[in-house]
Amino acid sequence: MATPELKIILEAALLAAGEPLSEHRLLALFEEPQRPDGQAIRAALQELARDYDGRGVELAEVAGGFRLQVPPAFAPWVNRLWEERAARYSRALLETLALIAYRQPITRGEIEEVRGVSVSSSVMKTLQERGWIKVLGHRETPGRPALYGTTREFLDYFNLTSLSDLPPLAERRDLDAIGAELERREAWVASPSAAAMPADEVL
Amino acid sequence: MSGGDSGAGIIARVRGEPYPALPQDLYIPPDALRVFLEAFEGPLDLLLYLIKRQNLNILDIPVAEITRQYMEYLALMKDLQLALAAEYLVMAAVLAELKSRLLLPRPAAEAGEEDPRAELVRRLQEYERFKTAAEELDALPRLERDIFMASAEAVRAPVKQPPPVSLAELLAAIRGVLQRAELYGHHHIQREPLSVRERMSRILERMDRVRFTAFSALFSIEEGRRGVVVTLLAILELIRESLLELVQTEPFAPIYVRLGKFSAAGEPAPSPSGD
């Protein structure tokens, strides 16, 4: 039997793997003499992606590599296959995860500071059991609090290739701007002359 | 703390005042109210809700009014005997302090001081950013809910890769072999003197006859490794006893063996050929 087309070999491997395959792992499918180069692999994958246009499967690149997946558009039907709906995550869990994703490395104390409420151990446990977060190290301050960060599995799960794919965080108006605006509104200021003075000249 | 109020029909007590009924604007069946109140993710979340409910900008917090509403909710939560996290009480204190500071005229010396609301506004804004980020994160398509890995069954017959061997492992293996060989060593020692001695005699007999021969000619390959070793040992032993001599005309040239000057023959052996 003649050697099948490169893209078909890659398709077969991606279907069989059950997890994303990196370019490196795709290259390792071939014995040394017949091994294509990275460029050939990428070209074949592009072709494969085009082949899937309008089909019930698509080629996606996530942090862990390439995978074949059912596009989100089919979720309403595909989800009927399972009696139970996919797990919904609590706001506490999602807010904690968001803080870790955007602010990593971050300590538990810093998460609590922003959320204004203590972080429950079960939330941290769930996040770690799902493999979405891990301890990156410890901050060298009293108590050596653990520093948390997100994992490659987190990116894979949320269909992201890197943290920069996360939706941008809402702009933060810096404190000076907030202060200035409050002053301008003079909601509480007794003496208008003091309000007009730039903050750094006072003191 | 007054969850089990003795006064029948009193649903809540807000700042000491008994409320016979839930306030009109948020009458919700008690069970639903519990769910509603439990849904808050802490004091900042509750404050944000109160501010948003009145379509107010965070920067426009009417501290007195918001504080009043916040306290009302706290009283409700207490009445429903929800576990009231300490954070809610801390926030109540912060709001009360804020209110009192805003009521007092500001001394001239503190003119440059930041608006006391700024810190609260900063925290509310920061919390709101991540509350939004969490909602956006939740909206991202994700595995098992929106995306499903495509897969096909494949026959599993993993390709076995011969394990790589490191030099250290190789050396360790050789050491092991040598050690094991040593265990059998004494058997040889008992047998060796006989066979080597015997071989020495045979070689000497032969040399006495031919006087000069190629080194390799003394070995008979058919005897195998052990025979070769015995012959070698015999030759070496004969050389040590100066009964034989090794000669070589130049480096890498064939090695020859001749009778030693003190061999039994008694007379000097001839030089290698060509000499």
Average model confidence (pLDDT) across chain A: 85
The reported pLDDT for the residue numbered B82 is: 72
| Mean pLDDT of all residues in B145-154 | 88
Percent of all residues in chain A with a pLDDT value above 70, rounded to a whole number: 83
| Mean pLDDT of all residues in B255-269 | 64
Model confidence at B223, pLDDT cuts 50, 70, 90, reads confident
Is the pLDDT higher at B55 or at A57? Answer: A57
Please count the other Cβ atoms lying within 10 Å of the Cβ belonging to residue B23.
13
Alpha carbon distance A20, A14 (integer Å): 7
On whether the CB atoms of residues B161 and A19 are closer than 8 A, the answer is: no
Within chain B, strands assigned E span 12-14, 17-19, 148-149, 212-214, 244-247, 256-259
The reported pLDDT for the residue numbered A21 is: 96
On whether the CB atoms of residues B59 and A185 are closer than 8 A, the answer is: yes
The domains located in chain B, with CATH, are 12-104+115-137 (no CATH), 185-275 (1.10.10.580)
CA torsion angle A165 A169 A170 A175 (round to 10): -150
For residue A158, the chain B residue with the least C-alpha distance is B142
Alpha carbon distance A81, A88 (integer Å): 17
| Mean pLDDT of all residues in A157-172 | 87
The reported pLDDT for the residue numbered B175 is: 78
Range ranked top by mean pLDDT from A83-87, A111-115, B172-176: A111-115
The domains located in chain A, with CATH, are 6-77 (1.10.10.10), 91-165 (1.10.10.10), 174-203 (no CATH)
Strands A65-70 vs B148-149: parallel, antiparallel or unpaired? antiparallel
Is the pLDDT higher at B106 or at A78? Answer: A78
The reported pLDDT for the residue numbered A200 is: 40
- pTM score, whole prediction: 0.60
Average model confidence (pLDDT) across chain B: 76
Alpha carbon distance A203, B112 (integer Å): 6
| Mean pLDDT of all residues in B148-159 | 82
* Neighbour-count burial for B199-232, b at 16+ CB within 10 Å, e otherwise: bbeebbeebeeeeeeebeebbeeeeeeeeebbbe
Model confidence at B192, pLDDT cuts 50, 70, 90, reads very low
Please identify among residues 4-23 of chain A the ones whose CB lies closer than 8 Å to any CB of chain B.
Answer: 12, 14-19
Is the pLDDT higher at B273 or at B27? Answer: B27
Please count the other Cβ atoms lying within 10 Å of the Cβ belonging to residue A49.
16
Please identify among residues 67-96 of chain A the ones whose CB lies closer than 8 Å to any CB of chain B.
Answer: 67-72, 75, 78-79, 86-87, 89, 91-92, 94-95
| Mean pLDDT of all residues in B208-235 | 82
Is the pLDDT higher at A10 or at B104? Answer: A10
Least confident range from A55-64, B68-77, B161-170: namely: B161-170
C-alpha triplet A115, A118, A123: angle, nearest 5°:
95
Nearest to A159 among B115, B122, B147 (CB): B147
Residue A114 in this model has a pLDDT that exceeds 60? yes
Taking chain B, what is the end-to-end CA distance rounded to the nearest angstrom?
A: 122
Within A21-112, strands assigned E span 58-62, 65-70, 106-107
Nearest to A15 among B121, B123, B151 (CB): B151
Which residues 6+ apart lie within 8 Å of A106 measured at CB? A99, A100, A147, A148, A149
| Mean pLDDT of all residues in B110-118 | 69
Which DSSP category does B162 fall into? P
The reported pLDDT for the residue numbered B163 is: 67
Taking chain A, what is the end-to-end CA distance rounded to the nearest angstrom?
A: 85
Alpha carbon distance B244, B239 (integer Å): 5
Alpha carbon distance B84, B79 (integer Å): 10
The reported pLDDT for the residue numbered A160 is: 93
pLDDT in tens, A118-132: 898 999 999 999 999
| Mean pLDDT of all residues in B124-145 | 92
Please count the other Cβ atoms lying within 10 Å of the Cβ belonging to residue B110.
11
Residue B16 in this model has a pLDDT that exceeds 90? no
Residue A202 in this model has a pLDDT that exceeds 50? no
Least Cα distance to A7 among A70, A37, A51 occurs for: A51
Q: B133 CB near a chain A CB, below 8 Å?
A: yes
For testing contact with chain A, the best of B49, B56, B151 (most A CBs within 10 A): B151
* Neighbour-count burial for A178-202, b at 16+ CB within 10 Å, e otherwise: bbbbbbeeeebbeeeebbeeeeeee
Which DSSP category does B143 fall into? B
Model confidence at B2, pLDDT cuts 50, 70, 90, reads very low
Alpha carbon distance A155, B272 (integer Å): 82
pLDDT in tens, B38-79: 778 889 999 988 888 888 777 778 888 889 999 988 888 888
Helix (H) or strand (E) holding B140: none
Q: B117 CB near a chain A CB, below 8 Å?
A: yes
Model confidence at B22, pLDDT cuts 50, 70, 90, reads low
Rg (CA), chain A: 25
Which residues 6+ apart lie within 8 Å of B216 measured at CB? B254, B255
What was the ipTM of the complex prediction? 0.74
Residue A179 in this model has a pLDDT that exceeds 70? no
pLDDT in tens, A182-199: 666 544 444 444 444 444
Contact (CB<8Å) B149/A69: yes
C-alpha triplet B178, B184, B188: angle, nearest 5°:
110
